[in-house]
Amino acid sequence: MSVEYWGKPVPGFGDPEARVLIMGLAPGAHGSNRTGRPFTGDASGKFMFPVLYETGFASQPNATDRNDGLNLKDLYITAAVRCAPPANKPTPGELAACSQFLDREIAGLENVKVVVALGKIGFDAYLNHLKRRGPPLHQTYLFKTYPLQDLSL
């Protein structure tokens, strides 16, 4: 079976009036790079969209392609880079090249109050966006997560 790939920069997706922003790393080689929509058609989306559906952010629990009818409410999803990077790890040059698009995209999301940055690259991309933007118009709090430790005795 032949599958047609999107194979172009993957734009953000969601509610332009969103108060919540999810910042991912980059399009997955056989997920977003294939479907043209963030977290669609790969294992991460199979985990994330049912959770977003149960919490009222997504209109349905699955995401298979750009035309599957999925809508997001009060949520916008984007990524630090727009194209699938080799080995799923963008280079500093790729991050820098995509930063202008990320800045413009986030600037258009005027109602965002909460940013959920996925992974170190997503977190750093948002932090660097804040540095490029300059002083915030309102208070910004940054929380960094740490890997869970084995708590068994």
Contacts of 100 (CB under 8 A, 6+ apart): none
Q: What is the pLDDT of residue 7?
A: 74
- Structural domain total, the chain: 1
The pair of three-digit structure tokens given for residue 7, joined into one six-digit string:
């194979």
- pLDDT grade for 2, boundaries at 50, 70 and 90: low
CB atoms within 10 A of CB 41: 24
The CA distances from residue 145 to 24, 119, 148, in Å, are: 15, 9, 9
Could you tell me if residue 74 is inside a domain? yes
Express each pLDDT in 29-72 by its tens digit: 777 777 878 888 788 888 999 999 999 999 999 998 888 999 99
Mean pLDDT of all residues belonging to the chain: 85
Where would I find the beta strands (DSSP E) of 1-153? 13-14, 20-24, 75-79, 114-117
Q: What's the CATH code of the domain at 40?
A: 3.40.470.10
pTM of the model: 0.83
The pair of three-digit structure tokens given for residue 148, joined into one six-digit string:
């869970």
Looking at the chain, the whole-number percentage of residues with pLDDT higher than 90 is: 48
Q: 87 lies in which domain range?
A: 13-133
**Comparing 22-26, 48-52, 139-143, which segment has the lowest mean pLDDT?**
139-143
Could you tell me if residue 77 is inside a domain? yes
Could you tell me if residue 62 is inside a domain? yes
The pair of three-digit structure tokens given for residue 108, joined into one six-digit string:
């258009």
Could you tell me if residue 7 is inside a domain? no
84 secondary structure, DSSP code: P
| Res. 85: pLDDT tops 80 | yes
Could you tell me if residue 17 is inside a domain? yes
Could you tell me if residue 3 is inside a domain? no
Could you tell me if residue 1 is inside a domain? no
Could you tell me if residue 113 is inside a domain? yes
